């Protein structure tokens, strides 16, 4: 019988990181600084509303100031840019996040580029992306940072490993590839990035020592697509209809967990794997921003 895989739960990782963050918040409070996070939410996207409410709740729990700006769906680009300009100048705000996706009339590139890079706690500004590409200290997008924190917590080394990443979004796949391939203790991997135009996806996934799926397709990764002993990180959060659930749906990952887990040595669950890490890393970035901006 093969050994049971290690379940890479994000909850204990998030919990232990939050204890460290609490210490940093207390230290800032002793100097009269309260880290401030502003979220800009345009429109009524239900998932975005849930995410922003959760970010606000967790920020407050940790002692951060948290302000949510809820703007109507027909808000103009000029109005959003004006609000961001005000937040850039507000010394009580250290982190600004613009919840994506934005309504169609808004240009998300222009809006994200208007955030002060020193307050860009989502790490989406080209300045921070550029620093990341150069291997310099930068605000790292929260989901990739959370994935690295999980691997570190469970003692899974990426050094010399072949990591295959499915997805090349600027939120997950692209920054993750930069982090994992860079010359560092928690990088130094050989990285393959796959996407929707990749030919013979299964050939690539079977090469992976560590497979990271961030594509947004429920249960797309099957047992035949992975080799024995692989480590799997499933970033996908997909709603599938389920009449037995009160909400009428349940959340599943991009990986068919039941089929794939027996072939793995370690695997993240969905929900409860990468998910809990993303907001934790957002709080970490906000506290870092407050430390830097207050000269700590
Ligand atoms: P995007 O839609 O921005 O990107 C999806 C990527 O997957 C694209 O690069 C796309 O390729 C690729 N892709 C799509 N279909 C296939 C396919 N059949 N084969 C190979 N590659 C494919 O998604 P995100 O990066 O924003 O999110 C990915 C998933 O992760 C979603 O389920 C999302 O909900 C989840 N997520 C979870 C987070 C968390 O906190 N756990 C945070 C962020 C996202 P191409 O570039 O060619 O279009």
Segment 41-54, tens digit of pLDDT? 999 999 899 999 99
Phi-psi region of 249 (alpha: psi -120 to 50; beta: other; left: phi over 0): beta
* Residues facing residue 241 across a β-bridge: 249
As a whole number, mean pLDDT of residues 197-221 equals 98
**Residue 95 CA from chain centroid, whole number:** 16
- Nearest CA, atom 18, ligand 1: 196
Give the mean model confidence (pLDDT) for residues 3-19: 97
Q: Is the C-beta atom of 168 inside 6 A of ligand 1?
A: yes
Confidence of residue 2 (pLDDT cuts 50, 70, 90): low
Query: Looking at the predicted structure, is the pLDDT value of residue 72 above 70?
Result: yes
**For ligand 1, is residue 172 a contact (CB within 6 Å)?**
yes
Burial class (CB in 10 A: 0-12, 13-18, 19+), 191: buried
Rounded to the nearest 10 degrees, the angle between the axes of helix 275-293 and helix 142-153 is: 110
- In short, whether 292's Cβ falls inside 6 Å of ligand 1 is no
| Mean pLDDT, residues 139-148 taken together | 98
Which one-letter DSSP state was computed for residue 136?
A: -
pTM over 0.95: yes
- Decide if pLDDT at 3 tops 90: no
pLDDT for 296 equals 76
Ligand 1 pocket mutation, candidates 140, 205, 214, criterion most atoms within 8 A of CB: 214
pLDDT band at 147 (very low <50, low <70, confident <90, very high): very high
pLDDT at 122: 98
Residue 186 has pLDDT above 90, yes or no: yes
Measured CA to CA in angstroms, residue 159 lies from 75, 151, 153, 180 at distances of 47, 12, 15, 9
Best substitution site from 140, 142, 146, 172 to test ligand 1's pocket, by max atoms within 8 Å of Cβ?
Answer: 172
The beta strand positions in the chain, using DSSP E, are: 6-7, 36-42, 65-71, 95-98, 162-166, 190-194, 210-213, 230-234, 238-241, 249-252, 264-267
pLDDT at 12 over 60: yes
pLDDT at residue 149, rounded to an integer: 98
The number of C-alpha atoms within 13 Å of 34 and in the hemisphere containing its C-beta is 12
Instruction: Measure the CA–CA gap between 35 and 204, rounded to whole angstroms.
Output: 43
Answer whether 257's CB lies under 8 Å from 245's CB: no
- Give per-residue pLDDT as tens, 82-112: 999 999 999 999 999 999 999 999 999 999 9
Does residue 164 surpass a pLDDT of 70? yes
CA of 194 to the centre of ligand 1 (A): 11
Q: Is the pLDDT of residue 1 over 80?
A: no
In the residue annotation, 99 being an active-site residue is answered as yes
β-pairing, 6-7 vs 249-252, is unpaired
* Residue 274, ligand 1, Cβ within 6 A: yes
What average pLDDT does the chain have?
97
Please state, in angstroms and rounded to a whole number, the distance separating the CA atoms of residues 287 and 196.
36
How much is the average pLDDT of 153-179?
98
Cis peptide before 271 (omega within 30 of 0): yes
């Amino acid at each position: 019988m093969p050994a049971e895989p290690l379940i890479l739960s994000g909850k204990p990782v998030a919990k232990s990181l939050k204890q460290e963050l609490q210490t940093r918040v207390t230290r800032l409070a002793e100097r009269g600084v309260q880290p401030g996070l502003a979220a800009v939410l345009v429109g009524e996207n239900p998932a975005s509303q849930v995410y922003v409410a959760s970010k606000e709740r967790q920020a407050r729990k940790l002692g951060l100031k948290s302000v949510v700006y809820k703007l109507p769906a027909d808000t103009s680009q000029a109005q959003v840019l004006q609000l961001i300009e005000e937040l850039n100048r507000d010394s009580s705000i250290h982190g600004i996040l613009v919840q994506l996706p934005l309504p169609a009339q808004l240009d998300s590139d222009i809006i994200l580029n208007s955030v002060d890079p020193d307050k860009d706690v989502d790490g989406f500004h080209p300045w921070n992306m550029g620093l990341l590409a150069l291997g310099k200290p930068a605000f790292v997008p929260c989901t990739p940072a959370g994935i690295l924190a999980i691997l570190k917590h469970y003692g899974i080394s990426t050094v010399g490993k072949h990591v295959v990443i499915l997805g090349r979004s600027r939120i997950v796949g692209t920054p993750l590839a930069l982090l994992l391939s860079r010359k560092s203790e928690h990088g130094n991997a050989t990285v393959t990035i796959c996407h929707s135009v990749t030919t013979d996806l299964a050939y690539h996934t079977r090469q992976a020592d560590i497979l990271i799926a961030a594509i947004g397709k429920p249960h797309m990764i099957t047992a035949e697509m992975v080799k024995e002993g692989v480590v799997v990180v499933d970033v996908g959060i997909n709603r599938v209809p389920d009449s037995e659930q009160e909400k009428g749906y349940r959340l599943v990952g991009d990986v068919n967990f039941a089929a794939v887990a027996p072939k793995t040595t370690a695997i993240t669950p969905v929900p409860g794997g990468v998910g809990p890490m993303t907001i934790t890393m957002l709080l970490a970035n906000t506290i870092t921003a407050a430390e830097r901006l207050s000269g700590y």
